[in-house]
A and B are shown apart, each in its own frame.
Chain A
Amino acid sequence: EVHLVQSGAELKKPGESLKISCKTSGYIFTIYWIAWVRQMPGKGLEWMGSFYPGDSDTTYSPSFQGQVTISADKSVTTAYLQWSSLKASDTAKYYCARHSEVLGNAFDIWGQGTMVTVSS
């Protein structure tokens, strides 16, 4: 069975760095994209970017380009989303999701989400 399991909730201060994870299992990691999606409190879904572990191809939304870094470690089939300097406006729940052309790039499996709170 396919699973995406995300790391736990984080409470950080403005200016701190953070790396959250999305551990995958049950499928061939290198042939599916992993997307990251932000949901600010009480708001809708925003696609942040996607990463292809097969060749490390990465695409970012212009809204998030330069603000976050998406990466992965094939040896542990895990994807990451990281910030070098958090802001209060980064407070949100972040989801990872798998997608591929097999389902027309639809996001068929999602992680449970990681809540990130940035507050002084």
Chain B
Amino acid sequence: AIQMTQSPSSLSASVGDRVTITCRASQGIRNDLGWYQQKPGKAPNLLIYAASTLQSGVPSRFSGSGSGTDFTLTISSLQPEDFATYYCLQDYDYPYTFGQGTKLEI
């Protein structure tokens, strides 16, 4: 199975900060990667698919980049509602695998 290594596992930041979260795949996955945001008690929400395509309705402060094995989610200017846990998911090959998650805290 493809392993997804996500870092950092937690991150302290402030409103207005620029933050970056990374995911590394154990083998090449083209650009078959999505980023998800999850708030406590809620279902995950798709932010980015195909590594860099912003899902409809998602604010433009979110962006994704990368291909092959290394991927990045960037939030350009943190807003209060962005404090949540973020996951990457490779959908290149079964079994699909999530990163371990990054908890973004104030």
Contact = CB atoms under 8 A, between A and B. Distances in A.
Range, interface on chain B: 20 to 34
Interface of A: 35, 37, 44-47, 50, 59-63, 95, 97, 99, 103-108, 110-113
Contacts of B53: 104
B62 interface: no
B44 A108 contact: no
Interface of B: 1, 31-32, 34, 36, 38, 43-46, 49-50, 53, 55, 87, 89, 91, 94-101
A111 B43 contact: yes
A108 B89 contact: no
B29 to A, nearest CB: 11
A110 B97 CA distance: 17
Nearest to A104: B50
A13 B79 CA distance: 43
